[in-house]
Amino acid sequence: GTQALARHKGKEERVVPRMATAYTKDVVPSLMKRFNYRSVMQVPRLEKIAINVGVGLATQDAKLVEVVARDLEAIVGQKVVVTKAKKSISNFKLREKMPIGCRVTLRRARMYEFLDRFISISVPRIRDFRGLSDKSFDGRGNYTVGLKEHTVFPEIDVDKVAKVFGMDITFVTTAKTDQEAYELLKALGMPFVKRQEVLERPAAQR
């Protein structure tokens, strides 16, 4: 739509993403009630989304990293950083500073827009999808999803893809515990696998 066009031309559109509005209007009151927070400032929020793509042994083909970077930029709508090998590993024919992948960090409006597209369009296109794992939290309130195929994103034309690649998407939150991060992401619409009711007690009661 026009929003996407504005974004891809490098202009920051002023429209507040609907996910950001939903967070303020629905998620904050819901989490305040659930965890008995005394202040709005205590409510966890999504801080950034970090996406990392490694192209592995295909590094001998420098053009491949360029293709991956271009596709990732089409998905996120901003410049990505090419990651380089920190040291040489002869067994893998890897030389120091060789391009080995790409990464990008999304914040504010772009972060919410990506989250919206990820949940509403990309996730339903994952093959044999039965819900995202609720075990991939790191103990510090961050959650990582491993995607096998970047072709689930609507910005990618499957017929023109040179190579299908996977990526790790980390949702970085200000939550102090995994339980709070889980409830935050679930309230934002993250389609986790169904949990047993027993596990759904607030962290305070554990």
Does 198 have pLDDT greater than 50?
no
- Mean pLDDT value of segment 50-62: 75
**What DSSP element (H or E) covers 205?**
none
Per-residue pLDDT at 140: 92
Per-residue pLDDT at 65: 84
Does 87 have pLDDT greater than 90?
no
- Mean pLDDT value of segment 94-119: 87
Higher pLDDT, 44 or 2: 44
Residues in Cβ contact with 111 at an 8 Å cutoff, skipping those fewer than 6 apart: 46, 48, 49
90 burial (CB, 10 Å; 0-12 / 13-18 / 19+) is exposed
Among 8, 26, 17, smallest CA distance to 112 is for 17
Domains of the chain with bracketed CATH: 2-193 (3.30.1440.10)
Higher pLDDT, 18 or 15: 18
